[in-house]
Amino acid sequence: MKKRIAVLPGDGIGKEVAKGAIEVLQAVGERFGHQFYFQYGMIGGEAIDTLGTPLPDETIELCKQSDAVLLGAVGGPKWEKKPAHLRSEQGLLRIRKELGLYANVRPTSYYPSLADASPLRKEVIEGVEMVMVRELSGGIYFGKPSERIQKNGEDGVVDTLYYQRAEIERVVRLAFELAVERKGKVTSIDKANVLESSRMWREVAEVISKDYPDVELEHMLVDNAAMQMIKNPKQFDVVVTENMFGDILSDEASVLTGSLGMLPSASLSERGPYLYEPIHGSAPDIKGKGSANPIAMILSAAMMLRQSFGMNEEADAIEQAVNQVLDAGYRTKDIMTFGKKLVTTDEMVGEIKATLMDNEAIMYIMSAYA
């Protein structure tokens, strides 16, 4: 199969982990006989420095012309204090809007070999299999006005949380569709005891649930949810929530796997192309140190193969290789524990690639003897 993939490495460790994912995809292409064409686009701080905007038109065009988009991460202290139109994160928000990416699907799985990398007890996290569906192109990150204001002679500030009913409906429906294929439970997380937007969210969830009689719907307030996620994460199957709540809760959920560097994501739209990115940011604190964990990015590439290209076997092969490498004890610094083998970003990528290719050799030998 031939596929065009737009690659937006972005800033900081975004570049380091994107490079690793491309190498793994090249290995997959070699093993399974696919041709992946990678075309690079600028986004975030790098784009501001080079072209004066966090999202150049060429990047938008490139993404729209591609079969899928892979994104590293954007941001860094250099651009933090700039006016809004020159902040790196604006590039990310805008590409989500331009591509109509309304749902960000963030799976969180338990890795037996990483049980000791999580600060949580093994009994609490063992068997966790949850997927968070975060609304991605509306809510408080997009509402206008969002600005400093003067009111009654005082300095003030306003952000706006706005949703059209239809925006809530489509993301909640997607969560129910996922639940049908999974354990049949949707937890809708909101702040309905305070926010009117959450009361509409709850109403919509109730209406949509009528189309899915075999799926259990539960509502949970976000403050309680933050606590339940750590205390009893096994109760969750599919979680659906507003943009900012989902942003925060999914970083929290990463603790269940051992590290933020383990969680991939798929951002879905009505028409495609879809975008795949790790849930973490550009991690300026470890940039250039060779300690970034590339697994979240590599697993995002696996999600792309499965979701956008229907390449299930290929995605399974990546996930299997990642598991084998973790089982063999290879660890980047964020998941390092006593007695394991500490490796750099590039070495981790190298181990995953080598395992992918070794597995092919083993399958070839086995088929020869079958």
Binding site residues for Mg(2+), as ranges? 223, 247, 251
DSSP for 279-313? Answer: SS---TTTTTTT----HHHHHHHHHHHHHHH--HH
Active site annotation includes 247: yes
Place of tokens 């639940």: 179
Q: Assess 215 for contact with ligand NAI (CB under 6 A).
A: no
Active site annotation includes 334: no
Least separation in angstroms between residue 121's CB and ligand COI is: 27
Interface with ligand COI: number of residues (CB under 6 A): 6
Distance CA 221, CA 249 (A): 12
Residues with Cβ within 8 Å of residue 324, at least 6 apart in sequence: 355, 359
Two tokens, residue 328: 């063999």
Span interacting with ligand COI, options 31-39, 89-97, 196-204, 306-314, rule CB under 6 A? 89-97
Residues with Cβ within 8 Å of residue 57, at least 6 apart in sequence: none
CA dist 329 to 38, 117, 280, 312, 321, Å? Answer: 31, 12, 23, 26, 13
Helix (H, G, I), strand (E, B) or coil at 149: strand
**Cβ-proximal residue to Mg ion, closest one:** 247
Q: Which of residues 235-254 bind Mg ion (CB under 5 A)?
A: 247
Distance CA 294, CA 111 (A): 16
Least separation in angstroms between residue 22's CB and ligand COI is: 21
Q: Assess 76 for contact with ligand NAI (CB under 6 A).
A: yes
Interface with ligand NAI: number of residues (CB under 6 A): 22
Distance CA 31, CA 314 (A): 9
Q: Which of residues 310-339 bind ligand COI (CB under 6 A)?
A: none
Question: Site map for ligand NAI, 307-336, x if CB under 6 A?
Answer: ---------------------------x--
Span interacting with ligand COI, options 85-93, 209-217, 336-344, 357-365, rule CB under 6 A? 85-93
* Residue 76 interacting partner from ligand COI, ligand NAI, Mg ion, none (CB closer than 5 to 8 Å by kind): ligand NAI
Residue ranges binding ligand NAI (CB under 6 A) = 13, 17, 73-76, 89, 92, 260-261, 277, 280-286, 292-293, 296, 334
The set of catalytic residues is: 141, 191, 223, 247, 251
